[in-house]
Structure formats: structure tokens, C-alpha cells
A and B are shown apart, each in its own frame.
Chain A
Amino acid sequence: MASAYNPIYTDVPEKDVFALHFLQTLSNLRTQNSFSSPDNKTSDRVKKIKKAAYVSMARAAGGTNRLWSRSLLHQAAKRNNKNVRFLRRKRRVTWLMRRRSNRGDPIEDVAAERLRNLVPGGGGMETSKLMEETAHYIKCLSMQVKVMQCLVDGLSPK
């Protein structure tokens, strides 16, 4: 997408940033005691890795600057019973504000609901903002998938 065309700011960092964050999170995971013990069930490990993937993705994508990543990190921190407080970003005052009241387009309403359930942090957003977040989320997700794929490929035995 040419940046000239797209006035909406949805740039994601390059693959290496994602890879860096992911590997860091993985190595943190490895040093935990509960991880390397063999009596740990596979599903738990899987869940931990998945969580690590998402958290690292959120950090790589811009930390607390983006709405969805902020909500992701918040969820993750809550699960660990860590009380994290994020700085309230000064909200840009637009005259559209945060009206969820949809003036009657049922098609997009239903779809917007589903999107809100999928994209983290989509609970309180207007539809246009939601779609912006979705675009950024999709980009980051695909980047993360590429990184993980490369890792898997690199680590698989010949």
C-alpha cells in the first residue's frame, strides 16, 4: 500500500523486531521452572507459548500505543495477577467522539460485533476506529505468523 494513498497510519515494524521480541519471550519462558519439567502437560506448554506469542506480538507492534495491543497486554498482565497501570493516552478530540450508536446499518453492525469479539480491545470502539485497528492487527498477525513459520522451519530436522 502506498503511503500516499493510505492516510491511516498502519505501519508495522519489520520482521526482525517481531522475531526479537518473540525469542526474548521464549527464552524468558524457558528459564521458568515450570516449563522445562517433563511432567508438564503439552496443552499447558502450548497455551503458554501461544500467550507468549501474542504478548510479544503486542510489544513488537507498538506496545501500549495501539489500542488492541494495550488491551492484550492488559489481559495478559491480569492473568499473571500483575497490576499494570497504563498511562492514559490523551485522547484526540474529534467531533465524532465515541458514539457507538449505529445509525441503522444492520449489515455492518453484525459484522462489527463479530470483529469486536475477535480483535482484542474492540469493546469500546467506533466502527471506523475498529476497522483501523483490525487492519493493523491483521498486519501484525501475519508478520508474527511469518516469524513463527520461519522458526519452525529452521528448527525442524532435515
Chain B
Amino acid sequence: MNSSLLTPSSSSSSPHHLQSPATFDHDDFLQNFFSSAPWPSSALDDDAPPPTSDSSLAGFHHHDVDSRNQITMIPLSHHNPNDAVDVNVLYSGFSAGSLPFHFPQGSGGGVMKQSHTQTQSQATASTTTGGTAATPQTKPKVRARRGQATDPHSIAERLRRERIAERMKSLQELVPNGNKTDKASMLDEIIDYVKFLQLQVKVLSMSRLGGAASVSSQISEDAGGSNENTSGQTAAKMTEHQVAKLMEEDMGSAMQYLQGKGLCLMPISLATTISTATCPSRNPLISAVKEAGVPLSPNAATTPLVNVKGASVVTVKDASSVSKP
């Protein structure tokens, strides 16, 4: 007996589905099958095993592609009566119900390689992502192979997961620090980034455009000029005392007071880093900020990073724009 392979004679991308004949005459069937040489790419059948298999097989008509349930038709390239047995087995294996199948795009072979002795393993090896799963055994039911499923729900589920993974990849490129491989941490990063951006919008609308007038009136600092610098210093010191007083009563009100002025708390180390990084020439004000940080530093560790923008309002009057965080 010849172990022939079933290969598509044409390079169609869509996998071919099997039609399940209920009864057929082997020789007739095979002759009909082999007589039409080029495999039509859109030759499909509907899911129910047609009772009149002969007529439907003869010249296998082309049905419209139903991407949800199909049964592939598999061209036999070898004219071998011995294959009929395997073919029959294969067909009956595929006959049960619908094989929902999603057309994989680049499946250059929906190839069902069927050899005489290695039917099952080869069928396993050759299935594409859609997962035609029937083990060609003699039982008519389609049994799910390990790792695959023929259930339409699981196919949909897999599809859905693929879509989500795809989008996650594109999101990964957007979010900075998106090199996490773990899905959960990646999602957390995304969420944090969205929160951060929203907070940035809020702070930006608060710091300059919203509170500019009030901030500049309360903290009378100005660029250049030693007079103004000293007055700026005293104003800052006053603010500092005020905040210290407020903090004894209630942290929330202290924060609100600061926020109203467009300021924030930050740890000293951070402040020094930023000041040295952005502009080296803002000494008088920097020292004021640093001192403001001293009594508050134990609590200041909790401020979120984005408030750096707010703190820079104090110093920005001294020089030109602060670099973006």
C-alpha cells in the first residue's frame, strides 16, 4: 500500500475542508476527485454532512466561504485506491458537526499530510492555527487534540486573546518603560501612565494658566535683581512658616495651602538633583526651597513625582523654562 500524501495541488492560502460523504463508492469518488486537477481555493462545504455525497463531491462545487464553520476539502494528489480507506476514515473523522475554522492568513498550506501509517501524527503536525482537530479515528465524534479545540467558543476566545495581545504590543511602544514582559505589570504601567498624564494636564492647567496671577501675587519673586531676590526669600520663608504651622494641625489643609500657591513638598535630595540638573544659576531661591524642605522631609517622601512640576513654579520665575520632567 502506498503511503501517499495529501497535498493541495494549488497554492491556495485557505485551508481546505473535508467533505464528509456518508456513503460513496470508493473508485467513483476517487475518480471524480482526481479528475479535476486544479484545486479551487474557495471550494468549501457546509458543515452538515451531506447525504448525497456523490453528487456533491463530483466536481466539488464552490461554496461561499463561511469563516465560521467549515469543513475543509482536501485534494488528493495521488491516485491510489488504497488511500480510499484512509480517506474514508479521515472523512468520517471530520464529519461530525461543524468544524469552525478561522482562516489563517498566511497558511500557505492547509496541508493535511496523510500517510498511510502516520495519519494521526501527521495530521497533528500539519494543522494551522485554526486547529482542525479531528483525529481520524473510527469514532465519528471530533475529539479535541491537546492544546487545540474545535469549540467555537474557544476559537473565539483565542481570537480575542490574540487581539488583546496585539493591542497590548502597540500600547507597549507608547508607554515609556514598556519593556515588561509580564502582562500584569505591563497593564499596571499603562494604567499608571494614563494617570500620570491626566495629572500632568491638571498640574499644567493649575501651575501657570490657572494660578499664575495668584501665585505671583503671593510669592513676590521676580527674575533677577538682588532686591527682589531677598524679598523672594522672605516670602518663601513666610510660606514655609505658614505651611509648618498648618502641618501641625492638619496635613490636608497644609497641602491645600501649598497647592493654592502652586507649590508642593518634595524631598530635599530630589530638589537638589533637579536644581543642579536643570539650572545651575538659581542659587538664592534654591536655598530657600531646600530650607523649606528641611522640616518637611519626612512627610515629603510621599509626594508623587509629578508634583515636581508644581515645585518648579517657585523656581521658574527666576529663570527660563524648566526642562520637562
Interface residues of A (CB under 8 A from B): 1, 6, 8, 10, 26, 38, 42-43, 45-46, 49-50, 52-54, 95-96, 103, 105, 107-108, 111, 114-115, 118-119, 126-128, 131-132, 134-135, 137-139, 141-142, 144-145, 148-149, 151-153, 155-158
Contact = CB atoms under 8 A, between A and B. Distances in A.
Interface string B164-199: 101110110111000000011001101101110110
B320 interface: yes
B157 interface: yes
20 contacts: A1-B170, A42-B260, A45-B211, A50-B206, A53-B204, A54-B201, A96-B156, A108-B164, A108-B183, A108-B187, A115-B191, A118-B198, A126-B160, A127-B164, A131-B167, A137-B194, A138-B174, A144-B201, A156-B317, A158-B320
A105 B223 CA distance: 56
Nearest to B158: A103
Interface in B194-245: 194-195, 197-198, 200-202, 204-214, 222-223
A157 B223 contact: yes
Given A50-B206, A103-B157, A118-B194, 11 more contacts: A26-B209, A42-B210, A108-B187, A111-B188, A115-B194, A138-B194, A152-B209, A156-B317, A157-B223, A158-B319, A158-B320
Interface residues of B, number: 51
A1 B173 contact: yes
Contacts of B321: 152-153, 156
Contacts of B201: 50, 53-54, 141, 144-145, 148
B320 A145 contact: no
Contacts of A10: 170
A148 B324 CA distance: 11
B183 A131 contact: no
Interface of B: 68, 153, 156-157, 159-161, 163-164, 166-168, 170-171, 173-175, 183-184, 187-188, 190-191, 193-195, 197-198, 200-202, 204-214, 222-223, 260, 316-317, 319-321, 324
Closest CB pairs A-B (n = 10)? A153-B321, A111-B187, A46-B210, A131-B167, A141-B197, A49-B205, A152-B208, A128-B163, A148-B204, A50-B205
A71 to B, nearest CB: 15
A138 B195 CA distance: 10
B229 to A, nearest CB: 15
A46 B163 CA distance: 39
B184 A155 contact: no
Contacts of A52: 205
Given A42-B214, A152-B204, A158-B320, A114 B191 contact: yes
Contact of B197 (A131, A138, A157): A138
B205 A96 contact: no
Contacts of A38: 213
Given A134-B171, A148-B201, A111 B324 contact: no
Contact of A111 (B170, B191, B208, B222): B191
Contacts of A156: 208, 316-317, 320-321
Given A42-B210, A46-B210, A49-B205, A138 B187 contact: no
Nearest to A104: B157
Contacts of A151: 208-209
A45 B210 contact: yes
Nearest to B156: A96
A149 B223 CA distance: 20
Contacts of A114: 191
A149 B324 contact: yes
Contacts of A127: 160, 164
A148 B204 CA distance: 7
